[in-house]
Amino acid sequence: EEQTIVHDEL
């Protein structure tokens, strides 16, 4: 399963 980055930065 490919890991995606959580976009929690600005």
Partner 1 sequence: NIFRAAGDLSHLISILILLNTIQKSRSIAGISLKTQILYVLVFLTRYLDLTYRYVSIYNTLMKLFFISSSIYIVYLMIYKFKNTETEQIDTFPIEYLIGGSFILSLIFNYKFQFGEILWSFSLWLESVAILPQLFMLQRTGEARTLTTHYIFALGAYRTLYIPNWIFRWISEGRVDYLAIFTGIVQTIIYSDFFYIYYHRVLKGFKFELP
Our finding on whether 1 is near partner 1 (CB under 8 A) is no
Least distance from partner 1 to the Cβ atom of residue 8, Å: 5
Instruction: Spell out the long-range contacts of 2-9 with Cβ–Cβ below 8 A and sequence spacing 24 or more.
Output: none
DSSP for residue 1:
-
Residues that bind partner 1 (rule: CB under 8 A) add up to a total of 7
Note whether 5 binds partner 1 by CB under 8 A.
yes
Distance CA(2)–CA(10), nearest Å, equals: 23
Q: Considering the rule CB under 8 A, would residue 2 count as an interface residue with partner 1?
A: yes
Residue 7, phi then psi, degrees to nearest 5 = -85, 85
Give the binding site for partner 1 (CB under 8 A): 2, 4-5, 7-10
